[in-house]
Structure 1
């Protein structure tokens, strides 16, 4: 009994500071004459973060591209989807209003999906942000390619979903026609075609005007010095697109977006609609590729010239940015990062 109590009195914990630093929590117990290890239980160090997975690195590197891809894909899924449903179901009552609603929803949901990259989902919007908001020019090709590929993917999904209905509407699985060449054409589901009476000048001006209104309103909604829409910007853009479609969209289909029109046009060509997708409307296809860039740039310029007071716009620098653009390199001012 005495020896046992003596052993107990000499029992001690000898976990050193060095052991603490290494993560050791073991208790060393022994007698004065010969200490022996009674227990050793080393716990793993859980404080160090695990090494990042390869996909994490890929996702971080291409996050903006993925964001714009899926945002544009959602835009086309809802936009082309509503056109397909209206056309193939022979909806003759309020069909144009349904299309305006569908495209408005597509833009709103696409903006929600691509918020982390700025929600451009339109190469012309990206271009205008590069010119007037200091958005990095090096990102323009990445954004544009991602947007076009996203639009192509969305159009392909819509075709796969409505293929059986298209077969019935066209009159057979191997019949695919373009507006202006058939009374049962379905190519208009995927990209825009102008009304038969439109001249080339009228076609261009219609797309230019709609694009200018779009960019003017985007800058207005994002201007913190104005009545900014803040977190309600996607909802506000829903009404902008709905209004453009309801008021200015009949003549050309208000593409106002190279990716929205060019990507699905390529898909329709690949699906068998033929070279008429390029010839229709007296080779109309190039207008949705160029007019949105000029229209969005003009709309942004008008807003900044008359309403915007932020210093990140070249309009609010000497000589409206011309001096900054062409002046000596050491005197150039660096534009602030775009808040859009």
Structure 2
């Protein structure tokens, strides 16, 4: 393929993160719209269930990482970007631009889902309430279980810590990782597993961009309580702060428990730094 005009490195990386995160949301919010809204109007058994949601989010992660990995490293998650800045030598000056690109990609992906399912959402939930809120952004207890703000925050910290601990294991070249072209597939399976194990208490956002971008779409398209939970508490910060903290904790635990003790080819423990392709 013939390359176009030379584009600055950071701009290329932001474009890739935008595209990868948009792909993630197209599959993720799309499957929730099908299962919750379309399933609520039609035959629920034929349109999916919780397992469908977990698998589609995992597939979205896999394809989003494959889309962007060569150019930007395939973070598609500000929690990943922040953890890599702390422990993998990722440049701090790129953390905010990556997060902006990821959130913008999530916003556009959710906007497409909102447009595509607009008739179904309007029929399923004419008042655009918490009944269909969960299609786009997370709520404590998925809107039904007796879970409050702080248990949901705890859940987000734990879920994202698990994600980053395992991502660090998968990309550590000294620790028998999968071949590089298989890593996105395995990361997608991790997300499926987290969804099946930790999806009930807070909807396993485990990604600030995944929640904030679609939440902005809600706010702009008629959901008056987009920033609050079903109890009226200000909630939008939970799936932002929880994953950011949990990602750093999980990556740090990997370095402490495994990374510092894994020998390189010369027998000395050394943290491997991975960066996007240059040039």
TM-score by length of 2: 0.86
Q: 1:267 aligns with which of 217, 221, 239?
A: 217
Secondary structure in 1 matching 2:200: coil
Asked if 1:98 corresponds to 2:98, the answer is no
Asked if 1:168 corresponds to 2:123, the answer is yes
Q: 2:62 aligns with which of 99, 108, 117?
A: 108
Q: 1:338 aligns with which of 250, 270, 274?
A: 274
- Whole-angstrom distance in 2 between the partners of 1:63 and 1:194: 36
Shift of 1:78: 0.2
- Whole-angstrom distance in 2 between the partners of 1:210 and 1:260: 14
Gaps of 5+ in 2: none
Which residue is 1:227 aligned to? 176
Shift of 1:164: 1.3
Which residue is 1:216 aligned to? 165
Q: 1:144 aligns with which of 90, 99, 112?
A: 99
Checking the alignment, whether the CA contact within 8 Å between 2:22 and 2:106 is kept in structure 1 is yes
- Whole-angstrom distance in 2 between the partners of 1:273 and 1:302: 39
Q: Which has the larger radius of gyration?
A: 1
- Whole-angstrom distance in 2 between the partners of 1:254 and 1:60: 32
Asked if 1:278 corresponds to 2:278, the answer is no
Q: 1:127 aligns with which of 69, 82, 85?
A: 82
Secondary structure in 2 matching 1:121: coil
Q: Summarize deviations over 1:65-96 as a string: whole Å, max 9, x none.
A: 10000000000000000000001232544610
Which residue is 1:70 aligned to? 19
Shift of 1:61: 5.6
Checking the alignment, whether the CA contact within 8 Å between 2:172 and 2:272 is kept in structure 1 is no
Q: Summarize deviations over 1:217-240 as a string: whole Å, max 9, x none.
A: 100111111120122101101210
Secondary structure in 2 matching 1:189: coil
- Whole-angstrom distance in 2 between the partners of 1:272 and 1:199: 25
Asked if 1:306 corresponds to 2:257, the answer is yes
Secondary structure in 2 matching 1:150: helix
TM-score by length of 1: 0.71
